[in-house]
Structure 1
């Protein structure tokens, strides 16, 4: 099972730096390894957080070109929202979380599949100001701290609505934001004592390697191909958890 966890974490790091959706690999792998769903969600968050920051470092040149977004305020609401979501998870009874997991996965999969289409439709119809974008990002961060599935596409959609078009810069900022909001969630999970550390440590190392490698891989692999793979994994995992439930 350790090999399964390491391999899933490595490819989760790659996916998160390229298209998002890495938690579709790490969360089910942990559950299959016998970790209870709530603990698996917290442990998965611990594992992928450093990988997201490693991916952001890989995009450091692109991040330096960003002018459309006020980074301090955008990152600030992400940190506060991530902490709120993590605390909400800790207050959720384990049995209740097990019951909502299939629905969370379904929501994340649908969101990942149709997020770009929804984002484009919003841009055609409305002009979104900076305050509205921050409010939206705060809600996204709460969801990210609580579960995190599909968080990458949510952030990319928000940046697209705000007017960003440089996909590499958007991927870099998405990695930075998701890494930071997960970081505050990790602190809450550590304090709450819900992390399974042997699994988390092994997966963190693998995910960091995958995240840093993914930043360069992203420039060569067609994004549509990766998106199809993530969606297929999401559909399979959603079906699996509905059957198990």
Structure 2
């Protein structure tokens, strides 16, 4: 009995080993190494030995992390659902809504990101795809407001845009290189801050300006943080920009349309370079969402020019409050 049991255990282990080798061989075929090397076994073996030497070297940890990250993205891409008419319609509709929201008060990501996740995209791919899709809409809105651009608290648009672009690159690289779980916990608190400053910003600004002189360094430092946030996640960055500018520069939301949409477009542009370069954009969803965001951004800008200060304030408060609740539930809910 003992011999038979040992034999059975050996057979099970052998089958598991055989299945493992078949799966590994499948990965070699899937990576197209057989075709690329013309099935040259010496070439393949040499490549594997080079990988082994690389993993044993001082750069082994870096190489392993890089290869693992690329492999995970490839697996995620293979698991994504096929596009269909209904999915394209949802993506386009979410893009239109997101573009209009960005033009009015910001927060377009809260329309596009949930839609992409609902369509089956992984969260990091959805975030990158949303960013690229909203870029033309943000650019369209910025162009529509171009005649209203002016200095913020004595600082011209160019240094603010330069800071936003550079640190938008930094933020997007952080998204590529690090997990988003920690930032998911911070997002609702940032939005709560945006809501509080939007709701009480005028009183807080009057109180603050009566006691403290807010100079260029403070506003520039805030712009650095906005650039990093915009490149890393971007959700609610328009709302937070409205809140921070209102607090630091005592500017009303309606007067921030031009500068806010411009900075949003700059941050999206910086992040788009990184996300496209790292192949994090799923184009079948991005293209219809992109087209929708262009239309939404243009119409949102036209509507925004006709809205009163009170209407913009109410819209901003409602949107900020709603999104804050959603993200608190998302981060801390059951």
Q: Structure 2 regions of 5+ residues with no counterpart?
A: 1-86
2:207 matched to which residue of 1?
124
1:223 matched to which residue of 2?
312
- Cα deviation, 1:145-202, whole Å, max 9, x if unaligned, reads 0001111122223333443536444211110111011101100011111111111111
Q: What pairs up with 1:25-36 in 2 under 5 angstroms?
A: 25-36=111-122
1:174 matched to which residue of 2?
260
Structure 2: distance between partners of 1:162 and 1:236: 27
Query: Which of 106, 125, 129 in structure 2 is aligned with 1:43?
Result: 129
Q: What pairs up with 1:7-26 in 2 under 5 angstroms?
A: 7-26=93-112
Structure 2: distance between partners of 1:6 and 1:30: 11
Structure 2: distance between partners of 1:145 and 1:72: 18
Indicate conservation of the 8 Å contact 1:112/1:231, yes or no.
no
Distance 1:67 1:124, change over 3 A: closer
**Structure with greater Cα Rg:** 2
Report deviation, 1:50: 1.5
Residue 236 (structure 1) aligned with residue 326 (structure 2)? yes
- Structure possessing the higher relative contact order (Cα contacts under 8 Å, 6 or more residues apart): 1
- RMSD between superposed Cα atoms in Å: 2.4
1:58 matched to which residue of 2?
144
Q: Structure 1 regions of 5+ residues with no counterpart?
A: none
How many residue pairs end up in the alignment?
A: 240
- Cα deviation, 1:108-165, whole Å, max 9, x if unaligned, reads 5323422324644255222211122111110111011000111112222333344353
Structure 1: distance between partners of 2:200 and 2:174: 27
- Cα deviation, 1:56-99, whole Å, max 9, x if unaligned, reads 1111221168783311211111111100000000001xxx42x3
Indicate conservation of the 8 Å contact 1:68/1:163, yes or no.
no
Structure 2: distance between partners of 1:114 and 1:9: 28
